Structure 1
Amino acid sequence: MAIAAGQTIGHRSLMLAQAAGNPVALGNPEFTRMVAEKMAVAAETGAGVAQRMAAAQWGWAFWFGTQAQLAAAAWTSPATAWQHWLQAGTDQAADAGRRLAADAAALADASLAPAHRVASANARRLGRKKR
C-alpha cells in the first residue's frame, strides 16, 4: 500500500503543480475525486471496524459469562469447582488469546483493506494516464 499511495501522491502532486495558477486546470475531476474517495474510504473503514469491534465484544462477553458460571459452581463443592475452574480457565485463556489475535488481525484488515484497494486502483489508473 505504501508504494501505491506514494505513486498516487506523486501523480496527483504533479497534476496540482501543473494546474497552479490556471483556474481551468483546477477544475480537473481528479481533484474532486481525491476528496470524495477519502470520504468514502473513511466511511467504509469506520463501518468495517465497528462491525469487527462488535464481533470481538461478543466473544469477550461469552468468556466473561463462562467465568461467572465457573465462579458460581464454587458454592456447590469448592475443591471440585476449583479444579474445574483451573482446567477450564486455562483452556479459556488459550482460546481468549487466539481470539484476541484473530480479532486484532480482522481489525487491521478492516482498517487497511479499503485504503489499500483504492490506493492500488489509483496508482494503476493514474500510471496509465498520459502526463
Structure 2
Amino acid sequence: MTKAKEHTGDTGSLVYQCRLPLSTHTLNYVTDLLRRRLKAIQSRWRALPPGRIAVIVLAVLRHDQRLADMAGGNDISATTVRRWRDELIALLAANAPRLDRALKKIAKRGGEAVLIDGALIPTQRRTGKANRRTTRRQR
C-alpha cells in the first residue's frame, strides 16, 4: 500500500499572460471615463486603480475572457469583475453617439454601413445594371 504525498508548495493561482491589442487612446479614454465616474459618485477607493480596471474590462470584452480567470489573476472576485464590466459598458453606452446620428455622419462622408442586428433602416436600392451583377457560366 502506498501513501500519496501531499503537496507542500504554494497553492496560489496560476496566472497567464496574453497580448491585448489596444491603442493607448482607447485605454486612456476608458480610464478617464471611469475616473470621472468615480469622482462624480465620490467613491473613496476601489480594489484596483482605474487603469488596471480598464485593462481587465477591456480584456474581458475583447477576448471574451472568463470573469473568474481575470479575477483570479488579480486577487479579486468574479462578481467584482462583472460589476466593473457592467459599469464600464453603461459608461461607454452613455457616451456613444446615437445610431441615427452616426449613420448620417457616415452617409455625409460618402461611406456605407451595414448593420446585422435585425434593425430595419430605410435604404435606397440601386437600380439598373448597378443593382446586381449576374454572371453566366460559359459552356
- Give the alignment's TM-score, normalised by structure 1: 0.25
Higher relative contact order (CA 8 A, sep 6+): 1
- Could you say which structure has the larger radius of gyration? 1
Between Structure 1 and Structure 2, the one with more helix by share is 1
